[in-house]
Amino acid sequence: MITLITIIAFALLFLGILGSIIPGLPGPPISYAGVLLIHFFTDTQFSNSFLWSWGIVVALVFVLDYSLQAWGVKKFGGGRKATLGTFAGLFAGLLFPPVGLLIGPFVGAFLGALLEVKGDNNRALKVAIGSFIGFITGTVLKLGVSAVLLSYSIYYIWF
């Protein structure tokens, strides 16, 4: 039974890595669920301080992920349409991985910003760059947290 739980936990940890890139899947919370499975249902025990501190980090990164996207758009002069365009571009980019995952949000933000700024290409480009910076920053944060949780889990189980 412990082997099955460990397999499920590592499936969640790897799904968390994928969720850090794929929209709609909250990567770090899924990874953290894998850590909790290991802690509560196997012989491997993480310290309370580890669980609490990483729980807080996961919650902060979850909130920051959405905040950074909006911040990037607003900081560079965009609004709701540019943000929605970013997410639409991200979903469209899923059809053409891995390049589509990088280009899709940028093109979506640009097109959304064009609708907002009524044809001002320079301003739309600036908004798209801001959106892209927010998206990349959030993705890197999520990947980092999920990778650390996976690494710690491997270390605690096998070493």
Mapping DSSP onto H, E and C, the string for the chain reads CHHHHHHHHHHHHHHHHHHCCCCCCCHHHHHHHHHHHHHHHCCCCCCHHHHHHHHHHHHHHHHHHHHHHHHHHHHCCCCHHHHHHHHHHHHHHCCCCCHHHHHHHHHHHHHHHHHHHCCCHHHHHHHHHHHHHHHHHHHHHHHHHHHHHHHHHHHHHHC
The whole-model pTM stands at 0.83
CA 120 to chain centre: 30
Residue 112 has pLDDT above 80, yes or no: yes
pLDDT band at 36 (very low <50, low <70, confident <90, very high): very high
Phi then psi dihedrals of residue 94, to 5 deg = -60, -25
pLDDT digits (tens, 9 = 90+) for 118-136: 878 898 898 888 888 888 8
Q: Is the pLDDT of residue 159 over 80?
A: yes
Q: Indicate the pLDDT class of residue 150, thresholds 50, 70 and 90.
A: very high
Q: Is 41 exposed, middle or buried (0-12, 13-18, 19+ CB in 10 A)?
A: middle
Cβ atoms of 28 and 58 within 8 Å: the answer is: yes
pLDDT tier for residue 38 given thresholds of 50, 70 and 90: very high
Domain boundaries, the chain: 2-158
